[in-house]
């Protein structure tokens, strides 16, 4: 028993430390069991099968995913290391802080998901529309939560608050869970997050931060309908360190497209209200660039960077 656990622990460190030529190491910049990790672990078997190579996931946690992203950017560019990264470390954190890498240090393989976010309030409150909150926010104040500074819940709300001229207070929490607790207790008025959060908590959605209404929620209006052209989503994708040769990139991108088309991946996407979205290397690179610039502008507007 003890030996088994020793062997397991050793095996974990050994596999974490070495990546041989035929094994691809996939860095996930958050701990095992988190949202990104769950998707990555369902993505990995399809990707590995399509390539015919073993893929090993390595969780490198810390500093909102930037430690893992830095590890992916610094890896040898021979195709033996890829990173499964979400929006935060790719398109927000490099603007917020001095990270050792920038979005230009990656070769983009493919985008895998894109999930729209909703404006949420506690169920049964006296406000029932975006307009109600604009009124409250201009007469008095609104308090909104986030899962941390520089996260999408924060940026989307900050952008809305500045466009609508709200007197808004931002309360950052350590993750969505504690923030939902604060919403249940009435400490925060508004929160922005995905449909998963909407489904799992006692909250209602007032609007979706997307150009068009979402198929699964036809009754929920867009922010644009309330007069604010705001488009926010959380997304993930696969990257490699810059310098990986074109052939490898193309074969990985092809395998990625197959992986997100597997039943397993689609089922997880359905179960977790995750939107499957494929973008190839060039489209994905262009998207990240545009997204980073948009986010940087919001951070500046919110006074978080100069």
Partner 1 sequence: MTIDLAFLAEALSPWTLLAIVFGTVLGVVIGALPGLGSVVGLSICLPFTFGMDTVPSLALLLGVYCGSVYGGSISAILINSPGTPQSAATMLDGYPMAERGEAGQALGWATAASVAGGLLSCIVLILAAPQLARFATRFGSVEVFGLILLALTCIAAVSKGSMVKGLAMGAAGLFVALIGTDPVTGAARFTFGIEFLTAGLDLISVVIGLFALSEAFSRLALRRMGAPTVANARVILPALRAWKGRVVNLFRSSLIGCLIGALPGTGAATAAFISYASAKQASPRRDDFGKGEPDGLIAAESANNAVTGSAMIPTLALGIPGDVVTAILLSAMVVHGITPGVRLMTEHLDVVNAIFVVLIIVNIVMLVVAFPIVRAFGRILSVPEPIIMVGVIVFSLIGAITVRGNALDGVVAVLFGMIGYALRIGGFPLAPFVIGLVLGPQFEQNLRRGLLLNEGDILSFPTASWISAVIFTTVALLVIANPLKALMTFGRNRQKQS
Can you tell me the distance from the alpha carbon of 113 to that of 282, in angstroms, rounded to the nearest whole number?
16
Can you tell me the distance from the alpha carbon of 184 to that of 202, in angstroms, rounded to the nearest whole number?
7
22 touches partner 1 (CB under 8 A): no
Query: Closest distance between partner 1 and the C-beta of residue 231, in Å?
Result: 22
CA 272 to chain CA centroid, Å, is: 13
Q: Coil, strand or helix: which one is 171?
A: strand
Query: Closest distance between partner 1 and the C-beta of residue 114, in Å?
Result: 19
- Among the listed ranges 79-87, 141-149, 157-165, 229-237, the one in contact with partner 1 (CB under 8 A) is 141-149
Number of chain residues interacting with partner 1 (CB under 8 A): 62
Between 196 and 294, CB nearer to partner 1 = 196
Tokens of 82: 């890829």
Contact with partner 1 (CB under 8 A) among 61, 132, 254, 301: 61
Length of the chain as a residue count: 306
DSSP character at residue 216:
T
Contact with partner 1 (CB under 8 A) among 73, 75, 158, 180: 180
Q: What is the DSSP string of 37-106?
A: HHHHHHHHHHHHHHHTSEEEEEE---GGGHHHHHHHHHS-SSSSEEEEEEHIIIIIHHHHS--S--GGGE
Contact with partner 1 (CB under 8 A) among 137, 150, 237, 241: 150
- Among the listed ranges 170-178, 211-219, 241-249, 281-289, the one in contact with partner 1 (CB under 8 A) is 170-178
Q: Which residues contribute to the site for partner 1 (CB under 8 A)?
A: 1-2, 5, 8-10, 12-13, 16, 31-35, 37-38, 41, 58-64, 66-68, 70, 96-100, 143, 148-150, 169-175, 177-178, 180-182, 184-187, 196, 199-202, 268, 271-272, 304
């Amino acid at each position: 028993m003890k030996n088994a656990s020793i062997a397991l622990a050793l095996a974990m460190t050994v596999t974490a430390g070495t990546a041989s030529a035929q094994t691809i190491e996939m860095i996930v910049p958050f701990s095992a069991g988190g949202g990104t990790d769950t998707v990555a672990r369902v993505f990995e078997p399809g990707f590995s099968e399509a390539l015919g190579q073993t893929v090993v996931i390595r969780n490198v946690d810390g500093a909102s995913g930037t430690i893992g992203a830095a590890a992916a950017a610094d890896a040898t560019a021979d195709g033996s290391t890829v990173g499964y990264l979400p929006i935060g470390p790719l398109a927000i954190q490099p603007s917020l802080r001095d990270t050792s890498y920038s979005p230009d240090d990656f070769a983009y393989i493919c985008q895998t998901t894109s999930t729209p976010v909703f404006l949420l309030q506690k169920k049964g409150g006296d406000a029932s529309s975006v307009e109600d909150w604009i009124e409250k926010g201009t007469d008095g104040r609104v308090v909104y939560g986030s899962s941390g500074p520089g996260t999408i819940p924060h940026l989307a709300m900050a952008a809305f608050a500045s466009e609508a001229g709200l007197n808004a207070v931002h309360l950052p929490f350590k993750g969505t869970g504690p923030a939902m607790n604060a919403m249940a207790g009435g400490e925060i008025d508004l929160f922005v997050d995905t449909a998963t959060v909407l489904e799992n908590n006692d909250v209602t959605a007032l609007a979706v931060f997307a150009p068009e209404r979402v198929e699964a929620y036809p009754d929920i209006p867009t922010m644009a309908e309330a007069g604010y052209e705001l488009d926010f989503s959380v997304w993930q994708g696969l990257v490699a360190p810059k310098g990986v040769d074109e052939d490898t990139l193309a074969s990985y991108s092809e395998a990625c497209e197959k992986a997100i088309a597997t039943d397993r991946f689609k089922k997880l996407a359905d179960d977790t209200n995750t939107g499957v979205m494929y973008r190839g290397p060039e489209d994905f690179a262009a998207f990240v660039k545009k997204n980073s610039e948009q986010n940087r502008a919001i951070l500046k507007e919110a006074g978080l960077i100069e």
